[in-house]
Chain A
Amino acid sequence: MTSGPRLARKRKIAPRRGDASAAPGGRNVGPDDTDELVRISTRRLTKRYGDLTAVDALDLDVRAGEIFGLLGQNGAGKTTTILMLLGLTEPSSGTARVVGLDPARRPLEVKRRVGYMPDSVGFYSDLSGRENLRYTARLNRIERDDAEAAIDEVLEQVGLTSRADDSTDTYSRGMLQRLGIADALVKDPDVLILDEPTTAIDPLGVTEILELLRDLVKKRQMAILLSSHLLNQVQVVCDRIGIFAAGKLIGQGSMTELADRFGDGTAHIEVGFEFDDDASAKRAPELLRAIPDVADVRPGARLLDPWIVAVRPPSAEGRVRQAILALAAAEGLHLVSLRPIVPSLEEIYRHAVARTLPAHAGAVQ
């Protein structure tokens, strides 16, 4: 049992009792107490500032082992929600449970187990990266040796080891964000909340960071709540996504669920032909339209651009593609491209916002 002492040390870093081991005591009853893996849960969580409702009756669940992406424009209520989850601001009504605790009543225990990286994270510029992390470790009451080990580990994870002892004054924005992630990880949290974590990190770095996040979720069974406006990153890394607009969560679920819900009920296929003569160019759309379940055929923007075939219902998309293939073979058309157009999160997002809040549709562009 060579790993025994190491694990024991690790436990001192983060006395990690899962909800199970804490249960014998009089644990307060949360809304989702039955489900042990729910790390973040809110019920009708609301925050008002005067007349403005920043967060409106939010129902949210984030489980251990998943990354939940929070999408929304600036001012949609993402940060306010996060602050309520950390007990840094009190909800006007509704309840929140983080690691099974009410953050408004027991903020210290919640903050002990939740790593948070704020939007536009800052560090003490007269201290080095390592010293900044040391301060965080001390605030978390991590013993010195354990802290040094944890700091080395997280610096390695975010790729800052070589610059760790430089003053953070000399760091780029991207490096500060990496350090911010390291800072949130020092306490070895059960829940990680990241507010716009990758906006300034270069593309290659982002891939590394997203891989790290996936790794943490897989190996550590962390629950990660990630707010971002970089839709493609969210699409890549998140298991489930919540779309936020004007304080409301207007949809949540996996990409497929969201696409089903907010798509316009059509799937699209890109079809490219090379025509020998004008006659066949005229004939092709007619033939395509004749295929069952094809709703519409639109030519590309320019003459040689592929055609866009709209399929309704979306589930018929595979069948239509096969039909097009068969058709091309039978009619002697030169098919040069045939691929389904995967709806991007951006599209879903735009549809979702436009549908729920017509007034906001213009702003989403």
Chain B
Amino acid sequence: MTAEPMPLGSSGAGAVDAEPLDPLATEPPAARRERSVPRAGWMVVARKEFADHLLSARFVVLLIVLGLAAAIPLYFAADTIRSAASTVSGATAVFIALFWLPPHVTDTVQLPSVAGFLGIVAPLLGLSFAFDAVNGERAQGTLPRLLSQPIHRDDVINGKFAAGLAVIAIVLVAVIGFIAAFGIIRLGIVPAPSELLRIVLWVIVTFVYVSLWLAFGMLLSVLVRRAATSALIGFGIWLLLSIFGELITTLVGGFIAPLSGTLEQQYSNNSVQETIRRIRPDILYSEASRALLSPQTTDVSTPATVGAAQQASERIPSLLSLDQSFILVWPQVVALVAITVACFAIAYVRFMRQEVRA
């Protein structure tokens, strides 16, 4: 329908004619104005970004990469468990061992566990969907146009973040659901309800961890002008953490609190080093996922005193209940959430203060 432009409402007779037909006409002007400018602009932005993500090549590539990262250790872990399960009877929490057991490929070669592998690759997921969120719009010249639409400025960054979260959730659920199904078939064991619950909790914590990288990517996209640069910085930091992270924290820890002196000192310095390691979000995540996935884990920290170490060695090996496991990693989870919120908050504030023009 190509309607000819209508004469302007302020004086045009057409507007007066149309008035009784307009359902909004009976409402007071204030209510009409309210309706004409709804507040859910972020949902419109999120919907568009979400659709873009799902259709993007990144999405497919990440699904494959993550799927492989999970499937390869899973395959070998299943073999390891099967060979172990045939000799052991009455073992509990076998299914969930699929996720945390570092599998043997051969007698000497050991792979990281499924959880470990995912923990390394997952940041990619967060970074990929965020590193060009804002500076990409700038580069394309779409930002001024977007901001001149009747939405709030924060709708843009909120909508993008929400879309990123949704895509991450989809990828994680898809990949982990897939490997769980694969595990059920391979092992022929159906997970117990408590195991299922552990897996769900672990997925949630993984989601929080990936969100952290999403928020970090978002921050980079606000601070760095060029998308290529922010991608390079983001992936660089990810690589640095996952390859040299251990080396760096050990060096720094060794400098501040060397493991020397009396046994008592060594124990206390070790706990200082552990704290330093926990500045790294990947350590926080791996501790959280270890405790959540394997009920055998009764402690995520090494003992800080000689006495505590003795106590720990005398403890009867036991399985923790789910709530106990969760209490164990509560601080880690809170720290992950806090870092995520902090990253997003900085990105948010900086974005709100930036000039529209590049």
Contacts and interface: CB of A to CB of B under 8 A. Distances in A.
Given A24-B29, A89-B356, A221-B8, A108 B150 contact: yes
A190 B8 contact: yes
A216 interface: yes
A5 B21 contact: yes
Contacts of B11: 18, 20, 221
A116 B24 CA distance: 26
Given A15-B32, A221-B11, A120 B2 contact: no
B345 interface: no
Nearest to B36: A15
Nearest to A138: B44
Interface residues of B, number: 51
A315 to B, nearest CB: 37
Contacts of A141: 36-38, 44, 150
Interface string A231-267: 0000000000000000000000000000000000000
B2 A152 contact: yes
Given A25-B28, A109-B33, A153-B2, A140 B150 contact: yes
B23 to A, nearest CB: 9
Given A124-B142, A153-B3, A190-B8, A136 B36 contact: no
Interface core residue of B22, B55, B56 (most chain A CB under 10 Å): B22
A109 B10 contact: no
Contact of A88 (B9, B36, B144): B144
B7 interface: yes
Contacts of B41: 139
Interface string B262-277: 0000000000000000
A30 B103 CA distance: 74
A64 B8 contact: yes
Interface in A1-34: 1, 3-8, 10-12, 15-22, 24-25
B221 to A, nearest CB: 16
Contact of B144 (A21, A22, A118, A140): A118
B232 interface: no
Nearest to B136: A124
Interface stretch (B12-20, B66-74, B194-202, B312-320): B12-20
Contacts of A139: 41, 44-45, 146, 149-151
Contact of B37 (A109, A124, A222): A109
Interface in A155-182: 156, 180
Interface core residue of B11, B149, B150, B152 (most chain A CB under 10 Å): B149
A180 B142 CA distance: 10
7 contacts: A3-B17, A7-B18, A11-B18, A17-B29, A79-B357, A116-B144, A141-B44
Interface of B: 1-12, 14-15, 17-18, 21-22, 24, 28-30, 32-33, 35-38, 41, 44-45, 47-48, 52, 55-56, 140-142, 144-152, 355-357
Which 10 residue pairs spanning A and B have beta carbons closest together? A18-B10, A122-B141, A221-B8, A16-B9, A8-B21, A7-B18, A139-B149, A118-B144, A116-B148, A112-B150
